A and B are shown apart, each in its own frame.
Chain A
Amino acid sequence: MEFRFFYHFGRFLLMLKGMFSRPENMRMYWKEFMKQCVDIGIGSLGIVVIISTFLGAVTTVQTAYQLVSGFIPKSTIAMVVRDTMIIELAPTMICIVLGGVVGSKIASELGNMRISEQIDAQEIMGINTRAYLIGPKILAALLTIPALVVIAAFLGIFGGLEAGKLSGILSHEQFMEGLRSSFDGYNVFFALSKSYTYAFIISSIPAYYGYHVQGGALEIGKASTTAVVVSCVMILFADYALAAMLL
């Protein structure tokens, strides 16, 4: 695969710059924004619920498995589950999954619109397609993905709580005791910083690849795959960069 970083990065910035213009009709933009909120937020809720609950459950069981010393109280498991879910699993793991779910949807939707000349048709009408088609998607992602991450963190902890009880590792009371001890609110700020960054990556990179597709159905598939791969790699880079800067 041809790798032209500066070419893509420059074109990506130009795409973002092109988004900032006065909307032709605010009501239509609002309608598109709400539609995207439903597609990205509600559309991904099911997979987020399932994955986060099981992530929390597995973290509880595996932490208990590694906690062999009798000197460490069982409630420590809840602390580990809480902090792991908030700091890493809810934002990063969920956003990598969303990168696949939401990213491929955005790239293929825009790619199909480009190939079938629907984007050209809107351009001819005098619509700024970057603002109308990409803007609402990025804004909707920035609103709904952090909300999904918060839901994922809660559900992960709930999954851990129930898994602890069901597998006989620790009682609800022990788990709740661990949850309450040495909680640092900064972790929530850190998790939200991550989720906003990832939300931007998940929406803007696939939008870039979808919007600039040329060719046919095969190219839409390629663009979709590239968009997901690049988004996931960028999420991992951003994960390290944010950890290095904020922790």
Chain B
Amino acid sequence: MIELKNIRKSFGEKEILKDVSATMEAGKTNLIIGASGSGKTVLMKCMVGLMPVDSGQVLYNGEDFTAMDDKEKKPIRQAIGMLFQGSALFDSMTVEQNVMFPLDMFGNMSYKEKRKRMQECLDRVELKDANKKFPAEISGGMKKRVGIARAIVLNPKYLFVDEPNSGLDPQTSLVIDKLIKDITIDYNITTVVNTHDMNTVMESGDHIIYMHQGQKQWEGSNEDIIFSEDKLLNDFIFASEFFQDIKEMRKMEMFRDKKWRQKGGEGSNK
């Protein structure tokens, strides 16, 4: 579990994070959503230690990450995997070298074992026939898959994903979302995803934090979102007519489901 306590962060005069407190639930897909400039990426960077916080605490299973020096942070950092918005693959390395890099640096495995683990991870993200290719030779979706494979190669406890669907077509976005969700469940990882993709919110968000102008505006599940009366959240989530319709449909579905259960039936209405 990751706990954020009263996080504040400013750049010069501009306060980006204003007293943010939240909890990232263990073994679940936690989403941080919000409009561009709401402080999502800064919050994530503060959580992983890429940016120092001005005040507040980031607790990994009760251990204060913000109070640690670089040496003390190392074991926690090695338990973190991160997929960056632009994938951040090493240009000069092939796909398999990228995935093997953390193993080469930290793993105590033989070359054969490293290759086996690398292949397992590439198979897990369903990436085929790309081992010898360089990042410049593969598509955006494939880069995301390689990024995920590299992030999970050391069996992390925490997976951070920054804008997983940026620059991807809707179909590939769904595949990447499903992959992140499946990996979270299969490996029992605490996953934190930064997104403003509403498909991701509806399909894979177990626990959602809505950020607005540097503050935590709302927190709950993707079912709670449907019934939330928070105006700012509703304005953000249901900005498009398409999602307005989805909201109404979901409400009706859930209402029928509730009535069915009350009558003694099981499962949802067909």
- Give me the interface of A with B, judged by CB distance under 8 Å: 21, 24-25, 27-28, 112, 116-118, 120-121, 123-128
Say yes or no for B104: interface residue by CB 8 A criterion. Answer: yes
Considering the chains assembled together, what is the distance between the CA atoms of A121 and B81 in angstroms?
Answer: 9
Q: Is the CB of B104 within 8 A of A121?
A: no
**Contact check: which of B50, B74, B85, B160 meets A126 at CB < 8 Å?**
B74
Determine the chain B residues whose CB is within 8 A of the CB of A121 once the complex forms.
Answer: 82, 84, 88, 90
Q: Is the CB of A112 within 8 A of B105?
A: no
Across the interface, B50 reaches (CB within 8 A) one of A112, A116, A123, A127, namely: A123
B70 at interface by CB-CB < 8 Å? yes
Interface mask (B65-86 → A, CB under 8 Å = 1, otherwise 0): 0000010011101101110111
26 chain-A/chain-B pairs, Cβ below 8 angstroms: A24-B106, A28-B104, A28-B105, A112-B91, A116-B86, A116-B88, A116-B91, A118-B89, A118-B90, A118-B91, A120-B50, A120-B84, A120-B88, A121-B88, A121-B90, A123-B49, A123-B50, A124-B50, A124-B80, A124-B82, A125-B102, A125-B105, A126-B75, A126-B78, A126-B106, A128-B70
Instruction: Report yes or no: A124 in contact with B48, Cβ–Cβ below 8 A.
Output: yes
| Pairwise interchain contact B105-A127, C-beta atoms closer than 8 A | yes
Please give the number of chain B residues whose Cβ is less than 8 angstroms from any Cβ of chain A in the complex: 25
A117-B88 contact given A125-B77, A126-B78, A128-B70, CB 8 Å threshold: yes
A123 to B160 Cα, complex, angstroms: 14
Task: Closest A residue to B74 by CB, please name it.
Answer: A126
Interface residues of B in 150-205 (CB under 8 A from A): 154, 160
Q: Are A25 and B104 in contact (CB under 8 A)?
A: yes
User: In the complex where A124-B77, A126-B73 touch, is A117 in contact with B102 (Cβ < 8 A)?
Assistant: no
Contact assessment for A25 and B88 in the assembled complex, using a CB-CB cutoff below 8 Å: no
CB distance from B65 to the nearest CB of A (A): 13
Distance in angstroms between the alpha carbons of A128 and B106 in the assembled complex: 13
Q: Which residues on the B side are within 8 Å of A124 (C-beta)?
A: 48, 50, 77, 80-82, 160
A106 smallest CB distance to B (angstroms):
14
C-alpha spacing A128/B74, complex, angstroms? 10
Q: Which B residues touch A117, using CB under 8 A?
A: 84-86, 88
Interchain CA distance A118-B101 in the complex, whole Å: 12
CB atoms of A125 and B78 under 8 A apart: yes
- Of the listed residues B104, B105, B106, the one surrounded by the most CB atoms of chain A closer than 10 A to its CB is B105
- Closest chain-A Cβ to B140's Cβ sits at a distance in Å of 14
CB within 8 Å for A125 and B106 given contacts A120-B50, A120-B84: yes
- Please give the distance in Å from B91's CB to the nearest CB on chain A: 7
Minimum distance in angstroms from A15 CB to a CB of chain B = 14
CA distance in complex: A124, B192 (Å) = 14
Top-4 shortest CB links A-B: A126-B77, A117-B88, A121-B88, A126-B74
With a cutoff of 8 Å between Cβ atoms, the chain A residues found around residue B50 in the complex are 120, 123-124
**In the complex, chain A residues whose CB is within 8 Å of the CB of B74:** 126
Give the complex CA separation of A125 and B77 in angstroms.
6
Compute how far the CA of A126 lies from the CA of B107 in the bound complex, rounded to whole angstroms.
13
Among A24, A27, A28, A124, residue most surrounded by chain B Cβ atoms (within 10 Å): A124
A12 to B89, CA, bound (A): 27
Given contacts A24-B106, A25-B104, A116-B86, 15 further A-B contacts (CB under 8 A): A21-B70, A25-B106, A28-B104, A112-B91, A116-B88, A118-B91, A120-B84, A124-B82, A125-B77, A126-B73, A126-B74, A126-B75, A126-B78, A126-B106, A127-B105
Q: Is the CB of B88 within 8 A of A118?
A: yes
B105–A24 CB distance below 8 A: yes
CA–CA, A121 to B85, complex, Å?
11
Smallest distance from the beta carbon of B29 to chain A beta carbons, Å? 19
Q: Which of B88, B89, B104 has the most CB of A within 10 A?
A: B88
